[in-house]
Chain A
Amino acid sequence: AQSVSQHNHHVILSEAASLELGCNYSYGGTVNLFWYVQYPGQHLQLLLKYFSGDPLVKGIKGFEAEFIKSKFSFNLRKPSVQWSDTAEYFCAVTITGGGNKLTFGTGTQLKVEL
């Protein structure tokens, strides 16, 4: 079965710092990759997704992620974080032939300090 690993459980950054959150998946076949964000007290919202084509994906609020197939990775980046980016970030995967079901990583709690 597929799995998703997020190695950074808690990240604390100052405003304007650059962000990179790691995400690795284990599955040998074709995957679709997602990053969701959960702001405090809110539901999950899609930040960006990779389905096919250009491995560098741009999402909302200045976030981007790069799919590196050889490394089974889909890291999330943002050049300059803001206090309002404080949230929990989840990487997730669906696999071809597995139905459109998301398998989530355990999440990374990001705190941005002023």
Chain B
Amino acid sequence: DIQMTQSPSSLSASVGDRVTISCRASQTINNYLNWYQQKPGSAPKLLIYAASSLQSGVPSRFSGSGSGTDFTLTISSLQPEDFATYYCQQTYSNFATFGQGTKVDVK
């Protein structure tokens, strides 16, 4: 199975900060990389798909980059509603796998 490793596992940030989360795949996954946001008690929400495409309705402060094995999610200016846990996911194989998550909390 393809393993997904996120870093950091958690980070503390302030409103207005630029936040970057990394995700590494154990083998090349081309651009089959998605990012989700999850808030406590809620289902995950799709933010970015195909590594860099913004899902409809998602604010433009969210962006994704990368290809092959290394990917990045960037929040350009953190907003109060962005404090949450973020997951990367590969769908290159028929057996999707998620990263372990990155929790973004208030500094």
Check if A and B associate.
no
A residues lining the B interface (CB < 8 Å): none
Q: Chain B: residues with CB nearer than 8 A to chain A? A: none
